[in-house]
Chains A and B, each alone.
Chain A
Amino acid sequence: KAGVTQTPRYLIKTRGQQVTLSCSPISGHRSVSWYQQTPGQGLQFLFEYFSETQRNKGNFPGRFSGRQFSNSRSEMNVSTLELGDSALYLCASSSRPGMRQPQHFGDGTRLSIL
């Protein structure tokens, strides 16, 4: 079974730009969650999508948004990038929705803001 695939693996942007990250879940998984990982703040939950609907949301500003398509693939968008947005962005999928479900992670997209 193919794992969670995130693209691109690395990305360099400048302040003020916007970026879109992509996540393809494990085949058959319909729930996708996004996380931000930084040395200072650790792993923080961004949001969860299931059946194209956002179910849960973490404490991030509105510049962070996401969506899920009918094939369960998900994208995350960050607008007006700030230096502090430099991080590893991880996507995880699970077969069912909800915060109690074990999640399977991709290897992340490393975003660097110059």
Chain B
Amino acid sequence: GQQLNQSPQSMFIQEGEDVSMNCTSSSIFNTWLWYKQDPGEGPVLLIALYKAGELTSNGRLTAQFGITRKDSFLNISASIPSDVGIYFCAGPPDTGNQFYFGTGTSLTVIP
């Protein structure tokens, strides 16, 4: 089945640093959603993207829908301790009626 690969798998950064992560697929996607999951909780939606090339911000978070429609990027500026968690990309491929989550990027922010 479809696999969404996220990189890096994990990140350890200093508080205040910027963070970049990406998500790639083997198929074209028509929507990219970015979620954050804290331990013991369900994923929380951060940003939704619907068009190739679209760039959307939510506070310190910015995400982009890749031009090829096979990738997406998430940036976090000036990281803070509460940014700690696992970040997932997700979405439906252009064909079919499935929904896929990425492999996740674990973020640790060192105060």
Contact = CB atoms under 8 A, between A and B. Distances in A.
Interface residues of B, number: 25
A73 B35 CA distance: 23
Contacts, number: 55
Interface string A1-14: 00010000000000
A105 B1 contact: no
Interface in A34-53: 35, 42-45, 48
- The SS class assigned to the A binding surface is strand
- The SS class assigned to the B binding surface is loop
A100 B33 CA distance: 9
B33 to A, nearest CB: 6
A100 B42 contact: no
Contacts of A59: 1
Given A102-B33, A107-B40, A42 B101 contact: yes
Interface of B: 1, 30-31, 33, 35, 40-45, 48, 50, 88, 90-92, 97-104
